Amino acid sequence: MNKKWFAIFFMILVTAFFITILSTVHEISKDRIQEKEQIQFYRSISYASRIFPEDIKEENLPASSTTADIDWNEENLLEIFQNRIRFVRLPIVSSTKQLLETRGSFTSDSADIFIVLNENGEREGYGFPLRGKGLWGTIRAIAVVSSDLTRMVGIDFTEQSETPGLGARIMESGFKYHFRGLDLSGFLGEHPEEKPIEMVARKETSNLAYSTNRVEAITGATQTCLGILKMLNTDLPFYLDVIQENERLIKTID
């Protein structure tokens, strides 16, 4: 056989062989991966909602730890999830829709959020997904805000492809802890002179101790931090508007 044609034939054969192997491995592992991803999703929601296993205190977690390091019993996690999290689909009213259309980001007639309940079944906060751009790719997160919409309860990043050791450190508790208690009044027009959320180089006290609109950035990950800032300042007001506009509907769910 001609050398050129043999090379092409060989390449096709090897590619087909490895595609078959990979497809088989993928098919075998698909269900298990989905199941694991679902558990990861529950973990993220719990972290953002500041729900931890009974014997774990967030303050004692190392700054480098991630959501995955929290030692959850899967049964307990599922139980908490069933008792304290309620998913709802809220309609987007015409004024918000118009605003989205002008920004070119209108995609749907409704927004999916979840309601976080406390142990007594009372509304404690609202959670929703956020999406933005980092330095290398999409960053996805789950954010939870207090029921009066003035403070952030927490945030967890569910997807990122930032530089390991630099931007990828957004996954660490040390960074995410600054979002606990973050003042969101800038979005509600209470302090129009201030930027809604700001990133600063150094922040001595946590927002839980003294609530401000500031988050400590990661040194060496400026673009990632700016991406997160943009994501928050763009997506948060949208969800806050949708929740405010649907307050009556949410109360009926209670």
Give the binding site for another protein (CB under 8 A). Answer: 3, 6-7, 10-11, 14-15, 18, 21-22, 25-26, 29, 32-33, 36-37, 39-40, 43, 62-66, 68-69, 136, 160-166, 168-169, 171, 219-220
Smaller CB separation from another protein, 40 or 105: 40
Tell the smallest beta-carbon distance from residue 170 to another protein (Å): 10
Looking at beta carbons only, is 149 or 168 nearer to another protein?
168
* Nearest CB to another protein, comparing residues 34 and 252: 34
**Closer CB to another protein, 32 or 251, in the complex:** 32
Minimum CB–partner distance for residue 38 and another protein (Å)? 10
Rounded to an integer, what distance in angstroms lies between the CA atom of residue 249 and that of residue 246? 5
How near is the Cβ of 21 to another protein at its closest, in Å?
Answer: 7
> H/E/C letters for each residue in the chain?
CCHHHHHHHHHHHHHHHHHHHHHHHHHHHHHHHHHHHHHHHHHHHHHHCCCCCCCCCHHHCCCCCCHHHCCCCHHHHHHHHHHHEEEEEEECCHHHHHHHHHHCCCCCCEEEEEEEECCCCCEEEEEEEEEEECCCCEEEEEEEEECCCCEEEEEEEEECCCCCCCHHHHHCHHHHHHHCCCECHHHHCCCCCCCCCEEECCCCCCCCCCCCCEEECCCCCHHHHHHHHHHHHHHHHHHHHHHHHCHHHHHHHC
Q: In the complex with another protein, which residue's Cβ is closer, 3 or 248?
A: 3
Cβ at position 235, least distance to another protein in Å: 22
Smallest separation, CB 14 to another protein (Å): 6
Tell me how far, at minimum, the Cβ of 201 lies from another protein, in Å. Answer: 12
Which C-beta is closer to another protein: that of 160 or that of 213? 160
Q: Which is nearer to another protein, 13 or 253 (CB)?
A: 13
Distance (Å, rounded) from C-alpha 71 to C-alpha 193? Answer: 43
Report how far residue 105's alpha carbon sits from residue 141's, in angstroms, rounded to the nearest whole number. 18
With 0-12 / 13-18 / 19 or more C-beta atoms within 10 angstroms meaning exposed / middle / buried, residue 112 is exposed
From the CB of 116, what's the least distance to another protein, in Å? Answer: 22
